[in-house]
């Protein structure tokens, strides 16, 4: 099935509210568990590490990472001001090792060059018309030996499969979420496409793999 790009940012209040109110706790827990698994496989982070969550949205995973790793400085970055407003409100009771910054992806490498010990994203890649930008930014902000964990949707092989996934996973969701989910599946990259992106970026210590019926995971090291 041919990929059809979707807008890179969620900026309408309807989208932001629907996304912020949705229960993504199982997916958020899975992403954090994958981070823990990666650290088990590669060893602990350095003392006082910097963790960057790219495309953090309403901050669900960013907050969980700050709680999981209280000695780390955790930065959530997104280009949508309405999303960051939700994230900042949710993080009021979180410890002071967390902050949120509004930046476009292409501006991040200037601000955080060679500083990150762990780079995470969840459901960011499929929004990008130029996916290689994610990998170039990841490399630019990474310290030597930086860990990377990116989780995203995986494009199905047919529109019939898109419909099946929507019926299975969002049977009673608000229409705006169903529309976004459908558009995101069609805009997503396949596992093979992402591995091709990683090879072009010469990120030879990271690899994409398929997970369950609709996700892919990129994990490994930079440098």
pLDDT for 173: 83
Q: Return d(Cα 118, Cα 38) in angstroms, integer.
A: 10
Residue 138 above 90 pLDDT? yes
Q: Is the pLDDT of residue 68 over 70?
A: yes
Flag whether 2 is in a domain: no
92 φ, ψ to 5°? -55, -40
What's the mean pLDDT in 145-152? 97
> What average pLDDT does the segment 103-123 reach?
93
- Residue 132 lies inside a defined structural domain of this protein: yes
Confidence of residue 176 (pLDDT cuts 50, 70, 90): confident
Pairing of strands 116-122, 142-153: parallel
Give the pairing type, strands 50-54 and 116-122. parallel
The answer to the question of residue 83 being in a domain is yes
CA dihedral 45, 78, 7, 158 (to 10 degrees): 30
Give the model's pLDDT for residue 5: 87
Pair of tokens at residue 220: 């490994």
Burial tier of 175 (Cβ tally within 10 Å: 0-12, 13-18, 19+) = exposed
CA distance 207 to 132: 14
Tokens representing 26 are 């199982």
Domain containing 70: what range? 13-155+190-222
Cα–Cα distance, 84 to 153 (Å, whole number)? 22
Residue 100 forms part of a structural domain: yes
Q: What is the CATH number of the domain that holds 203?
A: 3.40.50.150
Instruction: Establish if 203 belongs to a structural domain.
Output: yes
Q: In this structure, is residue 17 part of a structural domain?
A: yes
Residue-wise pLDDT tens digits, 2-29: 998 886 555 566 666 665 566 667 889 9
Say how many domains are in the chain: 1
Residue tagged 């280009």 (tokens) = 79
User: What pLDDT is recorded for position 215?
Assistant: 98
Residues with Cβ within 8 Å of residue 176, at least 6 apart in sequence: 14, 15, 18
- 70-101 per-position pLDDT tens digit: 999 999 999 989 889 999 988 887 778 999 99
For position 21, what pLDDT does the model report? 65
pLDDT at 9: 56
pLDDT value of position 206: 98
Mean pLDDT over 213-220 rounds to 97
Query: Which tokens go with 214?
Result: 């609709």
The pLDDT value given to residue 119: 98
Whether 180 maps to a domain, the answer reads no
By three-state DSSP, how is residue 76 classified? strand
What are the structure tokens assigned to 140, written together?
A: 């630019």
At 18-57, the pLDDT tens digits run 655 666 678 899 999 999 999 999 999 999 999 999 999 9
Residue 6 lies in a domain: no
Dump pLDDT digits (tens) for 182-209: 999 999 999 999 999 999 999 999 999 9
pLDDT number for residue 93:
78
């Amino acid at each position: 099935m041919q990929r059809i790009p979707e807008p890179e940012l969620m900026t309408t209040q309807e989208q932001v509210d629907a996304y912020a109110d949705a229960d993504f706790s199982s997916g958020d827990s899975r992403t954090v568990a994958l981070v823990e698994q990666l650290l088990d496989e590669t060893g602990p982070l350095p003392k006082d590490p910097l963790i960057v969550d790219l495309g953090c949205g309403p901050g669900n995973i960013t907050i969980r990472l700050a709680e999981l790793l209280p000695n780390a400085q955790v930065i959530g970055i997104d280009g949508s001001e309405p999303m960051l407003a939700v994230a900042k409100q949710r993080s009021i009771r979180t410890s002071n090792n967390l902050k949120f910054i509004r930046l476009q992806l292409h501006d991040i490498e200037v601000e955080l060059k060679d500083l990150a010990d762990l780079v995470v994203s969840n459901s960011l890649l499929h929004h990008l018309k130029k996916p290689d930008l994610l990998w170039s930014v990841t490399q630019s902000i990474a310290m030597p030996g930086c860990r990377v964990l990116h989780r995203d949707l995986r494009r199905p092989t047919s529109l019939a499969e898109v419909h099946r996934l929507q019926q299975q996973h969002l049977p009673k969701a608000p229409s705006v979420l169903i529309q976004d989910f459908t558009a995101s599946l069609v805009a997503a990259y396949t596992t093979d496409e992402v591995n091709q992106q990683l090879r072009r970026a010469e990120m030879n210590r990271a690899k994409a793999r398929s997970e369950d019926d609709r996700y892919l995971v990129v994990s490994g090291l930079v440098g």
